[in-house]
Structure 1
């Protein structure tokens, strides 16, 4: 079977599953790297791919200075592609070349998150009364208050907002979940939705997404990231923080854990497949926070 045709089919399937645009870009790039490497080895058919070819490309990337995390992310995509080919009957499980390739050891990295003061300043930055200002403030509050992924937020519709919670219909892997919303976020959503209704009357061709661009189209990951970075720059967020929607998600997880919510509940709210993924967010919690929390829950102090 022709590798290029199988790759095109795999990417089409990813599009049909409405994966995030960032994920689609990553899948295209990672599979292209592998195809180009195999073509240099004059391998164009699936039956000729061996585990050593994947290891050789990983070694080549390593020699080029790429980090273990980046290389392991490539391997994850290759595994996803070959697993798809197994599921579709193009490849026997025992012949899956990616199954026999181990990831590189990578150091644990601690992600710096926003402080409570930085969160407050970012929320207060967009304090105007027009549609875009209120929209931006609502987005920042929602990201911090729910821990939603950027793509999940972009695909939200007004009916996903329930009285006591938000229904996340487009979670990773197509899974639905519910996330709570605070009274502060509920109030802000009411204000935004009222402005949005007036905006739609002036722009009848608007899309049905909850959050819209100034031209009535759905937002993009890039537009949300630019809006966050602008706010962060203006209010003086620490340069050690990588400003992005995903860092808002990390901040949500760490603050929930520091505030006493158990790891299993945080994992459910985040929409993680298993609790092991959520445990990585514990790495960024400072020793002082652990000590302070441990003092509050001391057995002797709670007798």
Structure 2
């Protein structure tokens, strides 16, 4: 009597699947890869993104077995996300990249022999415009803030810190008193708070230093000496994710800026970068301040100083006497 081939456990992965039928449910594959990512200290947010994109992919293609996935399934996913769901090409690239990464890891772990999406190229994308504030818009925006209130002064300090230091919204949300070196006028962001996981030193000007110091003093007076975070709610707790973005949108609406500017924390970061270069800063130090791992990401700001472009154009053409 011929012995039947049963369920085999791959030692190197811990995944059970029926080799003869090449059957592996996408949830089982996901569980194994997530365990590997956890042992490699991937951040929770990154793991959650992988998990969401992987499940979304299989839901759209209508399959459950990872061995059944083909290149045409990837094309089906792309068509669905772009034509039916209206996602931008850049967004589809990001989500699809996560799916490809899991397939690549399945190949690396010896579970699959080939990544079915390896030959699917990234979608072509147009360069996105960078939204920054003009000086006039900044004055209108900041004039709306009520600095006499606890929440208003907190918002004001958060916004000038982003404007003059180029911090991201999540870096503001997670900023702790211990991250600030007042003696040397620098914010030292540890790798755990940086997108690229590297320590980053962000210089402060006198205005930011003084306002941060004052905010901390008032927080300690209002909520006690044991507060750890810089930006707190009116109840003395660290602000939650998205609060500053929401508050900025309200300020922009009240200032009448919604129709002419993108009022968001990242626009303040963009404004910092453009003003930094315009006022004589160099691209290399800007890269380090912003925390970009690749300088090409920073170089995009060289193309977004419209005032300088117009000024130089006017200088170059003011003596042009050609009259047609």
- Report the TM-score, using the length of structure 2 for normalisation: 0.75
**Whole-angstrom distance in 2 between the partners of 1:246 and 1:24:** 24
Distance 1:33 1:107, change over 3 A: same
Matched, 1:143 2:181: no
SS of equivalent to 1:172: coil
Cα deviation for residue 227 of structure 1 reads: 0.8
CA distance 1:150–1:264, change in 2 (3 Å): same
Q: Deviations over 1:109-160 (max 9, x none)?
A: 2133111222233334324334222211111111111111111221111010
Distance, in Å, in 1 between the alignment partners of 2:110 and 2:167 is: 36
- SS state of the match for residue 167, structure 1? strand
Change (3 A) 1:195 1:80: farther
> Is the contact between residue 215 and residue 230 of structure 2 (CA under 8 Å) also seen in structure 1?
no
Q: What residue in structure 2 maps to residue 114 of structure 1?
A: 133
Q: How does 1:92-131 map to 2 (within 5 A)?
A: 95-131=114-150
TM-score by length of 1: 0.80
Q: Distance in 2 between matches of 1:134 and 1:122?
A: 14
Aligned length: 284
Aligned residues: CA RMSD: 3.1
In terms of fraction of residues, the more helix-rich structure is 1
Matched residue of 1:144: which SS?
Answer: helix
Asked if 2 retains the 8 angstrom alpha-carbon contact of 1:17 and 1:174, the reply is: no
Out of 207, 213, 234, which is 2:254 matched to? 234
Alignment partner of 1:278 is 2:301: no
Choose which of 262, 277, 294 in structure 2 pairs with 1:257. 277
Contact 1:62 1:68 in 2 (8 A): yes
Where does structure 2 lack aligned partners over 5 or more consecutive residues? 1-23, 316-324
Give ranges in structure 1 of 5+ residues lacking alignment.
297-303
Greater relative contact order, per chain length (Cα 8 Å cut-off, separation 6+): 1
Relative to structure 1, the CA distance from residue 32 to residue 201 in structure 2 (aligned partners, 3 Å threshold; closer, same or farther) is same
Tell me how far apart the structure 1 counterparts of residues 137 and 110 of structure 2 sit (CA, whole Å): 51
Name whichever of 236-245 and 219-228 sits farther off. 236-245
- Alpha-carbon separation, structure 2, partners of 1:161 and 1:256: 21
State yes or no: 1:134 paired with 2:153.
yes
The one-character-per-residue Cα deviations of 1:45-74 (angstroms, maximum 9, x if unpaired) are 3x4434442232112223224332232232
Relative distance call for 1:102 and 1:213 in structure 2 (3 A) is same
Per the alignment, residue 219 of structure 1 pairs with: 239
Q: Match of 2:14? A: none
Cα deviation digits, residues 196-246 of structure 1 (max 9, x gap) = 1112229x7x6x322112233322232111111111122232523222212
- For residue 153 of structure 1, the aligned residue among 169, 172, 175 is 172
CA–CA distance in structure 2, aligned partners of residues 9 and 121 of structure 1: 52
